A and B are shown apart, each in its own frame.
Chain A
Amino acid sequence: MVIMEMSEMLTWLVPAPPLISFFVIILFTSRHRSMSHLVALFAMGLSLLFSWVIVFNALSTDHFGEHPIASDVGWLPTGDTVLRMGVAVDPLTIVMLTFVPLACFLIILYSVGYSNFGKGRDQRDISGSPPHHGVEPMYSRFFAFLSLFAGAMLVLTVADNLLLLFFGWEIMGLCSYLLIGFWYGRTYDDKFQITPSGAAVKAFMTTRLADVIMLIGIAYLYFEAGTLNFREIFFNEEIMKHLLESPSLIGGMAAAHFIGLLIFAGTVGKSAQFPLHVWLPDAMEGPTPVSAMIHAAAMVSAGVYMVIRMFPLLNSGGHGSPALTVMAFVGAFTALFAATIAVAQNDVKRVLAYSTISQLGYMIAALGIGAYVAAAFHLMTHAFFKALLFMGSGSIIHGVEHGMHQTNDKLDPQDMLNMGGLAKRMPTTYWTFVIGGFSLAGFPFVTAGFWSKDEILADAFAHGHWWVFVVLLISAFLTAFYTMRQISLTFLGDARTESAAKAHESAWTMTLPLVVLSFFAVFAGYVGVHMDFPVLGAMLGSNPFEHFVIGSLPHHISGFEFEWTPVIFSVVAGISGLFLGWLVYGRRPLVIGQQDPLVKVLGPLYGVFANKYYFDELYNVVLVRPVKWISEVVAFKWIDRVLIDGALHSVANLTMKIGSVAVWFEKWGIDYAPDKFGDGVRFSGQSFRVIQSGRVQDYLNITLSAVVVIGAILFVILR
């Protein structure tokens, strides 16, 4: 009991330190660099500590899923009910609490080195542009934003209702805007290259579009269910029955599923699923720790977490609900679609960006076929190895940039064709990157990525979702291939530029997080090995992950029998992809000036992949330009100026005509005297110059006469 109470209090405290740290840094320590990062690190460390105490307590509680932690306060009185805001921790939250704070902490630590702490200010540097060789000019602000980002993610993680979750969700959207556009002053010579500020707006707008659809879903859910608290909805048979039986706006679909789809739209934006994936690759314009934050620890994970959270609603009425089918389709398609693009990218971070989209597709597809546990499992392992890979790529870029400063070359430090041979120069980065890459590729039995990916494939296979199985298998093969391509192009062979030859290993603040994450990228998978897997299954405690996480659901969902066939398929896909990648790129690494062999093999397809299927161009033509045209020409010019104001001016002119007739009538008809009231009617015309001529009293006369008229009317009526 005491433990539960402590956990309850700690849950409220989990998101608090980073949020407080944001304000502390902004308000007090913005001029002291070391203070700023110490505050951020200390706060994040505190969150990490609180989280892990909660995790530890939960793991040592039997049947934790039946007695989750929950606590709330009234927030918005809405007539007869009160919308309450609170925190809750159930097994699914525990999963998040194990990796989110850890990843955030490591990212903040990494940022110390990344922002060149310890070096002096370079005189050439200005705020809003990347530093040349000195410390980041807006050092403190960077840590403040990262803290806010982490705090928002933790709010989302411990939220007990959709509204509070949405708070965290949107504040993260804001942080992504601020951080992607952190170097807001940066502009490029190439006008068509997207700038950080452009990418920031694009990210925010795309996700916001999705968020508003989600917000409609939230309103709809509140309308139908009368509450937004997860547990109150999912564990209440009556509400669930009502949701399932109410017809929705779309004929034939249950309200539960329609609401589920509206909310899923939020995930499509946040987790960059097709067709709203376009913002994520451009988000690479932000500093690399931000990319790690967005791609692993926080933003995209939040999207997947949210649909996993909403699974009971999406799944209501049993398997094959239309909502889940849509998700399976979107997820599987995205997984393959993004993997093909990743194959033809040369920017070291963009490869990873598309890989993230692809892996998120895996999770969405997994959820779509009902593989609840596998989706959560892959979410966790992916966070570890993707955070590792991103920070690794940041280390690589940093290394190359270091070389550039010595050679004074001007080249793109992110282009893999400018690298090569970095293994010798940056050994820690190299080995950790290989571990992360192999985990992503699903190298059998020894990497975490293998176990989680295998579980998704096995589930698809066992439940007969053939096309999902095949699509994901092909994606797995492509994933392994482009990972090996990336490792080879970056690290193997000889340096293809002077700068790459002069690169050197990054500071310990950057490499330590890599080492820690490599540990998890290998071992995190062993908590979720299928219980019937020969030897390992029993040895590792019969899949403790599944037993624990399943407790979050109101009803148990069926597991599946262990089978060898999908395992063999997934082993073959991973290994053959890696091997092919090695054959093409690793065996005889590219030399200076040599073309990517893929260009020849794929022919015109390569161009399609490299240009991301031309989606940016398409959206520009069918969405952006028409909206601009409507707002500038149709709405503003035609309707507002011509139609509405035009009508108004005609009325005014008409009044003026009547007015002049009245004046004429008074002047010639009544007593020749220019009456003040008659002048007043002429106000409606442009001839009005009362103020300029200083005849302020004219106006008062009119008001006075108006009052007299009103009084006269009154008097007549009252008589």
Chain B
Amino acid sequence: MSEFILHITSTLTVVTFFPLVGVFVLLLINKEKKDLLRWVGVGTALLTFIFSLVMLGQFDSQDAGMQLVVSETWIQIGSNWSIDYHLGVDGLSVLLVLLGTLLTPIAMFASWTAIEERVKEYMIFFLLLEVGMTGVFLALDLFLFYIFWEFTLVPMYFLIGIWGGENRIYASIKFFLYTMAGSILMLVAVLWIGTVQGTFSYTALVSMGNIPLGTQRWLFLAFAAAFAIKVPMWPLHSWLPDAHVEAPTAGSVILAGVLLKLGTYGFLRFNLGLFPDASHYFAPSIAFLAVVGIIYGAIVSYPQKDVKKLVAYSSVSHLGFVMLGLFALNDLGIQGAILQMVNHGISTGALFLIVGMIYERRHTRSLDEFGGLWTVMPLYGSLTLIVVLSSMGLPGLNGFVGEFTILLGAFGSQALGSYFYSIFAALGVILAAIYMLWMFQKMFLGSVSNEKNTLLQDLNWREIVVLVPLLILIFWIGLYPSPFFNLMSASVEQLTAALDFGTALVLQ
């Protein structure tokens, strides 16, 4: 019993499952008391964020291995073989957990007035979603990981399907089936590993590390199928714009901010961690697709008339950078990629919030409807400009640090073996400026061309509160990124050492 209490109060368990407490409280509240429901929902998410800060406080950035580990047999199958409740955090995941726990309360708070229907269910789904996301980042048992992974689909599916736009049914089905289709292959691979290697434990598998290259390739591809759709990598991206356009603002924030990172995190944790030789083998192909995604996403962003769709396509481009960094397979590339995951969460999250703010006022997101908004809403315009600049990688703001580190990593990458990945990826930086500035110009510059825009109110305090934490991070990471890199560097070095060891074996 005391052991049970020890587990239930361990930091990672609390961080992961605390939102469930909120869910139970919400279930008890009358669905007509909307404000109370909102307060409980946001409050739970905030408390969860505070718990994740406690986790950060207990985290030792010098330690490359898994920390704050909780491990308990969950389902005993056979005599020496089990599915475990096994959580742990290291430098690869700590920032992503924090990103998720930060964005969730922000997204929920941002939906204060936007969501009037079914507030109770909305809040519940959001908290459930948070459990799934955090669980994915922390799970160290492959099967447990798979469960969390699939679990995130359900609340998101409902968030789009119930509170979404006009075409929400199509979008939610596309989202659900597409991602589910990929996961099936991963499930097969997980089961294969479990039966052949005799364990689902990530840490045990990493230390065993004796899967032959031929098998590694198949397993790599099976995992990659799930992750590449989630990222999404070109050409598997087409569910993303539809899902974003139809999702409610807060859903988009979480979808872009955190859910897409489940894919890149999956690549980082499992593909690189478990299949180092196959990672080397596939690195050039993945990097190629990543670069195509960078350029393609940027090009397709430009002609979009719907601001939200524009931002959605830009994610394809940004996530391409992350993938390029990961498969540079060196310290710089992977560190840059992790930071860029965080950056993308912040910047694109903020962009979706910003789009949501104007949508709430005008109930349209069409670029043609706007123009000259800076004159009408000066604060809104200025804050948007900062986020836009962050997203297009202006030095001094967060996006640049990630992109630059990734470019450096890819440039010097032995796994990729060519400069051209970097050079073509840099093209994406130019294109990003085109579509971002185009959007800003169409919306904010020029004279107020549309009558309906003349009387718009500038941001209220709630909207400012929502954006401020993200803006602080944008400047902080941009000007002084060291603390963020320090959190991850030990673990990344350990990973790249293992990757290099992997190549040594291949060469033999």
Contacts and interface: CB of A to CB of B under 8 A. Distances in A.
B303 A632 contact: yes
A291 to B, nearest CB: 19
Contacts of A163: 404
Nearest to A715: B77
A630 interface: yes
A204 B433 contact: yes
In the A-B complex, the 7 residue pairs with the closest CB atoms: A79-B331, A197-B445, A632-B303, A184-B445, A167-B395, A170-B395, A631-B299
A181 B444 CA distance: 11
A171 B493 CA distance: 33
B332 A209 contact: no
Contacts of B374: 127-128, 184-185
Contacts of A639: 296
A597 interface: no
A140 to B, nearest CB: 12
A167 B401 CA distance: 11
A72 interface: no
A645 B170 CA distance: 13
Instruction: Tell me the interface secondary structure of chain B in the complex.
Output: helix
A222 B408 contact: yes
Contacts of B434: 205
Contact of A77 (B235, B330, B422, B482): B482
Contacts of B444: 184
Nearest to B188: A713
A200 B187 CA distance: 52
B481 A212 contact: no
A620 interface: no
B71 interface: no
Interface string B433-459: 110011001001111100000000000
B426 interface: yes
Interface of A: 74-80, 126-129, 163, 166-167, 169-171, 174, 177, 181, 184-187, 195, 197, 200-201, 204-205, 208-209, 212-213, 215-216, 219-220, 222-223, 249, 628, 630-632, 635-636, 639-640, 644-645, 648, 652, 683-684, 686, 688-689, 691-692, 696, 699, 703, 710, 713-714, 717-718
26 contacts: A74-B482, A76-B401, A76-B482, A78-B332, A79-B331, A79-B496, A126-B375, A127-B374, A127-B375, A128-B372, A170-B400, A171-B394, A174-B394, A184-B444, A201-B437, A205-B433, A208-B429, A208-B430, A216-B426, A222-B408, A636-B299, A636-B304, A652-B177, A684-B177, A696-B158, A710-B187
Contacts of A636: 299-300, 303-304
Contacts of A184: 374, 444-446
Interface of B: 77-78, 81, 154, 157-158, 161-162, 169-170, 173-174, 176-178, 187, 191, 195, 235, 237-238, 296, 299-300, 302-304, 330-332, 335, 372, 374-375, 378, 389, 394-396, 400-401, 404-405, 407-408, 411-412, 419, 422-423, 426-427, 429-430, 433-434, 437-438, 441, 444-448, 480-482, 485-486, 489, 493, 496
Given A197-B445, A208-B430, 16 more contacts: A75-B482, A77-B482, A78-B331, A79-B489, A128-B374, A129-B447, A185-B447, A185-B448, A197-B441, A219-B411, A640-B300, A683-B173, A691-B169, A699-B157, A710-B187, A717-B195
A201 B444 CA distance: 13
Contacts of B330: 79
Nearest to A187: B447
A512 B309 CA distance: 53
B445 A181 contact: yes
Given A126-B375, A652-B177, A645 B238 contact: yes
Nearest to A691: B161
A216 B446 contact: no
Contact of A219 (B191, B408, B448): B408
Nearest to A711: B75
Contacts of B178: 648
A138 to B, nearest CB: 9
A195 B446 contact: yes
Contact of A75 (B77, B448, B481): B481
Contacts of A77: 482, 485-486, 489
Contact of B299 (A74, A635, A688): A635
A286 to B, nearest CB: 13
Given A128-B372, A219-B411, A717 B162 contact: no
A171 B395 contact: yes
B394 A718 contact: no
B446 A197 contact: yes
Contacts of B396: 167, 170-171
